[in-house]
């Protein structure tokens, strides 16, 4: 297809098959205007700026709408500070045929496993009490899996009965209210509800992100320079604490297939750097496909600083989220795609598939048409 010479907007698309615990990392279409560098910067007049503020279409997290608020500019540093608000809409037509979100799924009971793991680590003598508490607040669970409706665990919340008056359940409920208030809806009569994304829906994220506007140097556009005023993280070792790449909502123009699409994920406290895979097209627009995975920390010198020591890295394809999320969890791609076969072999019934479970971004580089 011939792209018009003055094509103003080329929308790429993100087939981002992202999953995982709070894996809200979404890279998506970038809107680019050809040739004129100043059009790419986030100065007030540009189309790109308007789109950066409120992406004019829903994203392919299949449920997401992203906005930026409380925007403040700093002319001197050529930066913008903002907060984010994500709104999620369930779109049955993009789910599997016939799925409504009311289906009951079976998954590890995240709360029970997290609480037990942390208590076992910090206060093993209290494990017995924890067992009693679970019987009270989760209605006598028979195993460590939960049967829960998909929309409940994602958004509406899974019920925790904190009306119990016995000591053990009360103590655990008090701890939950203190530690994971972010993920709890508290209803009358001490009924709590826990969900993975519900409390994020439509609420303004408290983090303040500072990015470059790219007016001085367009190649810096969208680059994350600070979060909450800090220019580095304080959770990993060495260079892993750096903010690298953009906020994922805009990328510099003129990227070649040798460049990576660098962006920083606040959910995973690390940058991702998808690499070029092949040429693709989206609605007739020529695009480049970039792919990414979690990585192999033990064997990738750039990623070793995410481990406490180079010898204590998690298995290939997994990432320990304890330091980032303060929860005893690992992140991986679905079905342990691109993971150490030893990890995959421990679970029956997995069918990792690049097309269904991989992270793929179809990206429209600047349309310089001759």
Ligand X SMILES: *[C@@H]1O[C@H](CO)[C@@H](O)[C@H](O)[C@H]1NC(C)=O
Q: Which residues are near ligand X by CB under 6 A?
A: 87-90, 155, 201-202
For the CB of residue 261, give the shortest distance to ligand X in the complex, in Å.
Answer: 28
CA distance 190 to 364: 50
Contact 187, 219 (CB under 8 A): no
Of 136, 125, 134, 126, which Cα lies nearest the Cα of 166?
136
Instruction: State which residue, 65 or 145, has the beta carbon closest to ligand X.
Output: 65
For the CB of residue 155, give the shortest distance to ligand X in the complex, in Å.
Answer: 4
Instruction: State which residue, 90 or 145, has the beta carbon closest to ligand X.
Output: 90
**Mapped to the 3 state alphabet, what secondary structure does 271-302 carry?**
EECCEEEEEEEECCEEEEEEEECCCCCCCCCC
Instruction: State which residue, 26 or 32, has the beta carbon closest to ligand X.
Output: 26
Q: β-strand 191-194 against 158-161: which pairing, if any?
A: antiparallel
CA distance 219 to 260: 13
CA distance 172 to 327: 16
For the CB of residue 89, give the shortest distance to ligand X in the complex, in Å.
Answer: 6
Contact 208, 227 (CB under 8 A): yes
Instruction: State which residue, 95 or 135, has the beta carbon closest to ligand X.
Output: 95
Question: Hey, what are 250's tokens?
Answer: 């805009």
Alpha-carbon Rg for the chain in angstroms: 22
Give the containing element (helix H, strand E) for 271: strand 270-272
Instruction: State which residue, 155 or 264, has the beta carbon closest to ligand X.
Output: 155
For the CB of residue 336, give the shortest distance to ligand X in the complex, in Å.
Answer: 27
Instruction: State which residue, 156 or 260, has the beta carbon closest to ligand X.
Output: 156
Contact 260, 274 (CB under 8 A): yes
For the CB of residue 202, give the shortest distance to ligand X in the complex, in Å.
Answer: 4
For the CB of residue 250, give the shortest distance to ligand X in the complex, in Å.
Answer: 25
358 alpha carbon, distance to own chain's centre: 14
Instruction: State which residue, 19 or 145, has the beta carbon closest to ligand X.
Output: 19
CA distance 130 to 117: 11
Instruction: State which residue, 52 or 155, has the beta carbon closest to ligand X.
Output: 155
Closest residue by beta carbon to ligand X: 202
For the CB of residue 203, give the shortest distance to ligand X in the complex, in Å.
Answer: 9
Burial of residue 149 (CB within 10 Å: 0-12, 13-18, 19+) is middle
Buried residues in 47-67 as b, exposed as e (16+ CB within 10 A): ebbebbbebeebbbbbbbbbe
244 alpha carbon, distance to own chain's centre: 16
For the CB of residue 286, give the shortest distance to ligand X in the complex, in Å.
Answer: 34
Instruction: State which residue, 43 or 87, has the beta carbon closest to ligand X.
Output: 87
């Amino acid at each position: 297809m011939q792209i018009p010479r003055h094509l103003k907007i080329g929308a790429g698309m993100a087939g981002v098959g992202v999953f995982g615990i709070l894996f809200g990392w979404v890279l998506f279409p970038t809107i680019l205007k050809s040739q004129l560098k100043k059009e790419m910067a986030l100065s007030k007049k540009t189309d790109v700026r308007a789109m950066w503020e409120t992406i004019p279409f829903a994203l392919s997290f299949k449920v997401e709408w992203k906005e930026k608020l409380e925007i403040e500019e700093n002319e001197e540093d050529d930066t913008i500070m903002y907060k984010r608000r994500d709104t999620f809409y369930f779109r049955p037509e993009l789910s599997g045929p016939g799925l409504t979100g009311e289906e009951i799924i079976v998954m590890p009971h995240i709360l029970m496993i997290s609480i037990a793991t942390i208590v076992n680590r910090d206060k093993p003598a209290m494990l017995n009490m924890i067992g009693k508490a679970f019987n009270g607040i989760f209605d006598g669970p028979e195993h460590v899996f939960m049967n829960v409706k998909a929309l409940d665990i994602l958004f509406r919340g899974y019920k925790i009965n904190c009306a119990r008056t016995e000591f053990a359940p009360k103590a655990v409920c008090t701890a939950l209210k203190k530690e994971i208030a972010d993920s709890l809806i508290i209803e009358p009569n001490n009924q709590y509800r826990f969900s993975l994304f519900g409390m994020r829906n439509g609420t303004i994220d408290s983090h303040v992100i500072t990015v470059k506007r790219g007016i001085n140097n367009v190649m810096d556009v969208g680059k994350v320079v600070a979060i909450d005023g800090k220019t580095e993280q304080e959770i990993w070792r060495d260079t892993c604490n750096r903010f690298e790449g953009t906020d994922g909502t805009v990328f510099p123009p003129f990227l070649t297939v040798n460049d990576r699409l660098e962006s920083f994920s606040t959910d995973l406290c690390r940058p991702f750097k998808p690499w070029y895979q092949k040429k693709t097209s989206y609605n007739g627009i020529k695009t480049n496909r970039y792919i990414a995975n979690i990585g192999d920390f033990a064997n990738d010198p750039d990623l070793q600083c995410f481990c406490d020591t180079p010898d204590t890295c998690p298995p290939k394809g997994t990432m320990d989220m304890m330091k980032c999320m303060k929860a005893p969890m690992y992140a991986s791609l679905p079905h342990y795609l691109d993971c150490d076969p030893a990890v995959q072999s421990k679970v029956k019934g997995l069918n990792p598939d690049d097309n269904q479970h991989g992270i793929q971004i179809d990206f429209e580089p600047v349309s310089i048409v001759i």
